Amino acid sequence: MSCFIGKKAINNTMIGLKNLEYRGYDSSGIAYIKNNKINIQKEIGKIENLDKKIEYDENVNIAIAHTRWATHGKANKSNAHPHKIGKITLVHNGIIENYEKLKKDLASSYEFKSDTDSEVVAALIDSLYNKYKDMKKSLSKALKLLKGSYALVIINDDLKDSLFAVRKDSPLIVGEQNNEVMFASDIPALLHFTKNYYLLNNNEIVEANTQQLKFYDSNLKLLNKEKFFYDDDCEVISKQGYEHFMLKEINEQPYIFKKILDTYVKDGKVLDMFDISKYDEIEIVACGSAMHAGYIGKYYIESLAGIKTTVYYASEYRYQHHFFNSKNLVIVISQSGETADTLAALKLAKENNVDTLAIVNVYKSSIAREAKYVLYTYAGIEIAVATTKAYMAQSLVLLLLALRVHQDSNIIKYLCKIPNLLLKYINKNYRKYALTISKYNHIFYIGREVDYYLALEGSLKLKEISYIHSEAYPAGELKHGTISLMDKDKLVIAVVTDDDVKDKTISNLKEIMARGAKVLSITNNLENLSDYQIEIEENNLLTPFFVMVSMQLLAYEVAKIKKCDIDKPRNLAKSVTVE
């Protein structure tokens, strides 16, 4: 969401919304006050569709806009935000868990026009406002009745010079500059306007108009909030000549790698970033690519620091049985720092008095603030939905945690050469391999141990941006079922770099080729292993970083050949703040 109070509100709101486009959505809408009347415009599909319909008016000074990623109800105009009911117009991110009960209670007084939980929130606030005739009091009461997650920005027909906002477990930040205020779900929406911002804690209430910006706790006690300054480079939000953000972000990796080393390594030693050696066991919890980085972390932590490490999907972890003990460390990994399942898993660990360490990219995000300890990945703003640089940064920070215990000077020396070596793999031409891949409808990625962990991410990258069905398997598991699918219509992409298990994987490749399927190997093995081969010249413990880059570019090229919307793949969201 992107909401503005101040000069040129429609323009500012829409720029903000466009800068959040990368987060994924399927409809959009805006409400603004003109000639003392609320105007609402909603469209399905791209923001351009909305943009074309808006009558821009530079004199409008209050607007709230939203991009919706359908949860309750289809992606259509009536379900798109803003929702207006009674005197309340609002935009909402999050999910209201008790909306059905609330809707039933409110049904005799309101006629609902959408299937959304958000419209029910608007009705609830309106009913409270009718009773208390005080907006802040109504919001404070609403907080106690709503269950679930929400970031809400609200206009009240009786108070058309103000915006009100509240949040719980869904991100919302407040930018401020010269008595103008912007509410948004993430920093990129603000940066064209200001670098000064406030962070909201759960259940805080904000009242903004052009004279004042006030923060209250849930009991309406006035708060004195700390103002932050975003001091990263604003230019990051442009593609800087690259065709896609994803390609730009892949190309940034050598610099980010160096930045992370500059932060955590000095004089050939890993600094005292965090000591994992005091724990008997580590649990890594995350979602998507962050979880795949967790596996790379497991490989390094177990092989270098000798600490047993288990990796979990956050969405499973939060509902599983646990045997927490004080010698365990729970590491949560998240680019956005807002992923709902990861945040819930973190809270669960905290409630059980286990030490928690967050590896996070977004400064002061919810996960960064909730964890006992935090390490940042310094990857800068990532716009492409499919993560690349953040995943590599997470993997590197995990490796450094392991090296902090096992200060192997040879590995650390070699680490410093990686940024340059990465360039070689970034500049390689993957198109001919991509052309081959693009002809298949089903792809299997395989590998063993760290090669399997890399395969997991390679496969996810390919399927999310090219829409080709792809699955990753431990090479040894193929025989237990999946090999029955092997025929001339299948392509297997094999990662074969780990000396300890290489020979075993090579035998699996032979079995696959004997059944008519084609094999593309990504390997540092110099022999001719398969039908197609992408060569990795490096062969050591750090080879995974070169494989990562090669697989990212491979997926990127396939998606390009297939003319997919690379930066904004269908149905996906960059930051998944709902369960």
- Any idea what the Cα angle at residue 1 is, between residues 233 and 37, rounded to 5°? 125
- Any idea what the Cα angle at residue 387 is, between residues 383 and 389, rounded to 5°? 90
Q: Does the footprint of ligand G6P cover residue 377 (CB under 6 A)?
A: no
Site track for ligand G6P across 333-352, x = CB under 6 A: -xxx--x--x----------
**Of residues 251, 289, 377, 505, which one binds ligand G6P by CB under 6 A?**
289
Residue among 6 and 94 whose Cβ is closer to ligand G6P:
94
Q: Does the footprint of ligand G6P cover residue 576 (CB under 6 A)?
A: yes
Least distance from C-beta 65 to ligand G6P, angstroms?
A: 22
Closest Cα to residue 346, out of 379, 363, 362, 324?
324
Strand order in 163-168's β-sheet?
83-85, 88-93, 150-156, 163-168, 205-208, 213-216, 222-223
254: cis peptide before it, omega within 30°?
no
Residue among 300 and 391 whose Cβ is closer to ligand G6P:
391
Cβ(101)–Cβ(194) under 8 Å? no
Least distance from C-beta 480 to ligand G6P, angstroms?
A: 28
Residue among 209 and 387 whose Cβ is closer to ligand G6P:
387
Q: Of residues 22-51, which lie at the interface with ligand G6P (CB under 6 A)?
A: none
# residues contacting ligand G6P (CB under 6 A): 16
Q: Does the footprint of ligand G6P cover residue 574 (CB under 6 A)?
A: yes
Least distance from C-beta 386 to ligand G6P, angstroms?
A: 6
**Binding range to ligand G6P, per CB under 6 A, among 171-179, 318-326, 381-389, 518-526:** 381-389
Cβ(115)–Cβ(74) under 8 Å? yes
CB atoms within 10 A of CB 507: 12
Q: Does the footprint of ligand G6P cover residue 288 (CB under 6 A)?
A: yes
Q: Residue with the closest Cβ to ligand G6P?
A: 288
Q: Does the footprint of ligand G6P cover residue 379 (CB under 6 A)?
A: no
Say which residues have a Cβ less than 8 Å from residue 26's Cβ, sequence separation at least 6.
Answer: 44, 45, 68, 69, 70, 75
Least distance from C-beta 332 to ligand G6P, angstroms?
A: 8
Closest Cα to residue 2, out of 196, 171, 236, 126?
171
Least distance from C-beta 384 to ligand G6P, angstroms?
A: 9
Least distance from C-beta 539 to ligand G6P, angstroms?
A: 28
- Three-class DSSP category at 116: coil
Q: Which one-letter DSSP state was computed for residue 418? A: H
Q: Of residues 307-336, which lie at the interface with ligand G6P (CB under 6 A)?
A: 334-336
Least distance from C-beta 509 to ligand G6P, angstroms?
A: 29
Residue among 320 and 571 whose Cβ is closer to ligand G6P:
571
Say which residues have a Cβ less than 8 Å from residue 125's Cβ, sequence separation at least 6.
Answer: 88, 90, 138, 139, 142, 154
Q: Does the footprint of ligand G6P cover residue 385 (CB under 6 A)?
A: yes
**Binding range to ligand G6P, per CB under 6 A, among 5-13, 80-88, 216-224, 385-393:** 385-393
Tracing tokens 């009536």 back to the chain, one arrives at 78
Q: Of residues 268-287, which lie at the interface with ligand G6P (CB under 6 A)?
A: 287
Distance separating alpha carbons of residues 33 and 209, to the nearest angstrom: 13
Q: Of residues 67-126, which lie at the interface with ligand G6P (CB under 6 A)?
A: none
Cβ(387)–Cβ(333) under 8 Å? no
- For the residues of 71-101, what is the DSSP string, one character each? SSS-SSTTTSSPEEETTEEEEEES-BTTHHH
Residue among 162 and 342 whose Cβ is closer to ligand G6P:
342
Residue 12 host element (H or E): helix 9-19
Least distance from C-beta 555 to ligand G6P, angstroms?
A: 12
User: Using CB under 6 A as the criterion, which residues of the chain lie in contact with ligand G6P when the complex forms?
Assistant: 287-290, 334-336, 339, 342, 385-387, 572, 574-576
